[in-house]
Amino acid sequence: MKPVVLTDTNLVGSALKWNCHYLQETLGNNLCTVYLSKTHKFKYFDVNQTKKCDNDFSPPTEKVLMKFQEFAKHLKSWEEGDRRLYMQQLLNEKILNSSQLVNDILTFNWSWIRRQQKQNNWGPLTANLLMISTQGNVTPAHFDNQQNVFAQIYGYKRFILFPPEDYDKLYPHPVWHPHDRQSQVDFENPDYTKFPKFREIKGHEAVLGPGDVLYLPLYWWHHVESLCQTQYTTSLTFWYKAGPTHGSSVTTMYPLEGYQKMAIMRNVEKMLVETLKDVNEVGPLLRAILEGRYT
Ligand X SMILES: CCC[C@@H](CC(=O)O)C(=O)C(=O)O
**Which residues would be at the binding site for ligand X (CB under 6 A)?**
88, 129, 131, 139, 144, 148, 150, 157, 222, 224, 235, 237
For residue 157, the minimal CB distance to Zn ion (Å) is 12
- Residue 149, φ and ψ in degrees, nearest 5: -105, 105
Instruction: Specify the residue, 30 or 134, whose C-beta has the smaller distance to ligand X.
Output: 134
- Residue 177 touches which of Zn ion, ligand X, none (Cβ within 5-8 Å per kind): none
Distance CA 240, CA 29 (A): 29
Give the x-and-dash track for 103-142 against Zn ion (CB under 5 A). Answer: ----------------------------------------
Q: Give me the residue whose beta carbon is nearest to ligand X.
A: 139
Residues numbered 45 to 64 that lie near Zn ion (CB under 5 A) are: none
Beta bridge partners, 161, equal: 204, 222
Contact 31, 93 (CB under 8 A): no
Of 43, 36, 56, the closest CA to residue 180 belongs to 43
Distance CA 43, CA 173 (A): 12
Instruction: Specify the residue, 30 or 88, whose C-beta has the smaller distance to ligand X.
Output: 88
For residue 240, the minimal CB distance to Zn ion (Å) is 13
- Residue 128 touches which of ligand X, Zn ion, none (Cβ within 5-8 Å per kind): none
Residues ≥6 apart with Cβ < 8 Å to 158: 205, 206, 207, 224, 225, 227
Instruction: Specify the residue, 104 or 144, whose C-beta has the smaller distance to Zn ion.
Output: 144
For residue 238, the minimal CB distance to ligand X (Å) is 10
Torsion of CA 261, 258, 284, 180, to 10 degrees: -100
Instruction: Specify the residue, 187 or 268, whose C-beta has the smaller distance to ligand X.
Output: 187
Distance CA 252, CA 254 (A): 7
CA angle 194, 168, 269 (to 5 degrees): 95
- Residue 151 touches which of Zn ion, ligand X, none (Cβ within 5-8 Å per kind): none
For residue 14, the minimal CB distance to Zn ion (Å) is 24
Distance CA 71, CA 222 (A): 26
Q: Give me the residue whose beta carbon is nearest to Zn ion.
A: 144
Residue 144 binds Zn ion, judged by CB under 5 A = yes
Binding site for Zn ion (CB under 5 A): 144
